[in-house]
Amino acid sequence: MRVIPVKVDSNYKEYMPFRDPTFPVDIWTDAYDTFVDETLNCHWHPAYELAVLLSGTLDFYATGIHMQIFEGDCIFINSNIMHTAKQSPECRGSVIKGVAFPASLITNDTNSAVYRKYFEPVATTPMHSVIIRRNEIFASEMASMILAICELKDKEFGFELSCLSLLSRLWKGVLFHILSNKPELMQHRINRKYEDRMKKILSYIHENYAENITVDNLANHVNISRSECFRSFKHFTNKKPIEYINDYRLACASSLLIESTLSVTEIGVVCGFSNSSYFGKLFRQRYGVPPGQYRYRK
């Protein structure tokens, strides 16, 4: 198995691998069979993301809402939205192609007409994502434009102009589709207090997962009650706090088993499992094999 984690900072903000920082666009292909646990870990980024699922089925979560994405469906993910996705167990081979870009690629001036008319209304609404199903009229057009962007060669003359042209058409089409079919998504101002709080909790886990973390630690970190901490985890991750922490530790351990020469016992300790038998038990439950056997699995 090849390990391709989403690289995030301490706040779970993704490091976007822009080919050229002066032309911030990310064009990507994700094959979920190559991901640890067939999961794209929870993250967020200031870029807007638009993608088409070429094969398979994904369980997609954004701000606590669960949706399934099927082959041929397209998706728009708003900027700064926490999201994660997992390949559906009954449908392997999920492959998705997409593009991500910040508003600054189109306009650097937040006072400009372009930003105020076509980006600010999206950035200031609570809309987290929109799925355009394959049977909707705009889906095939959106998919074609995404794939056309993915096929551009960045070394060819005019790449940036061609990319900007396609992105502008794509963004216009997505906005028109939302306004025509789901105008209610654009009618309310945003309040992301609860999402920001959850980002802080995930950041704490990201920085301290090797230590003994309790629910009280998490709750105190953001000044909420234990019960509210449980509710927040249920809403955003569909898991209990300790379940989420252990899943994160196991994902880190699976990466180290493949990428490092540390012993199984050392990896367990590094990933926050002080009891090696407990580590082995949880790992076997999650991956179906003991840690030592997983290390040599292709």
Mean pLDDT by 10 residues, the chain (298 residues): 44 57 92 84 87 96 87 94 88 94 92 92 85 96 98 94 97 94 64 77 91 94 93 83 91 89 93 92 89 79
pLDDT of 187 reads 56
CATH of 26-186, one of 2.60.120.280, 2.70.170.10, 3.40.50.1000, 3.30.70.270: 2.60.120.280
Give the Cα separation of 24 and 32 in Å (integer): 24
- At 173 the pLDDT is 96
Provide the pLDDT for residue 251. 87
Report pLDDT digits (tens) over 168-205.
999 999 999 998 988 776 555 545 677 788 888 988 99
Q: Which fold has domain 193-295?
A: Arc Repressor Mutant, subunit A (1.10.10)
Identify the pLDDT of residue 198.
86
What pLDDT does 68 receive? Answer: 95
CB 35, CB 4: distance < 8 Å? yes
Same fold for the pair 26-186 and 193-295: no
What are the sequence ranges of the domains in the chain?
26-186, 193-295
pLDDT at site 81: 86
The residue whose two tokens read 């407990």 is 278
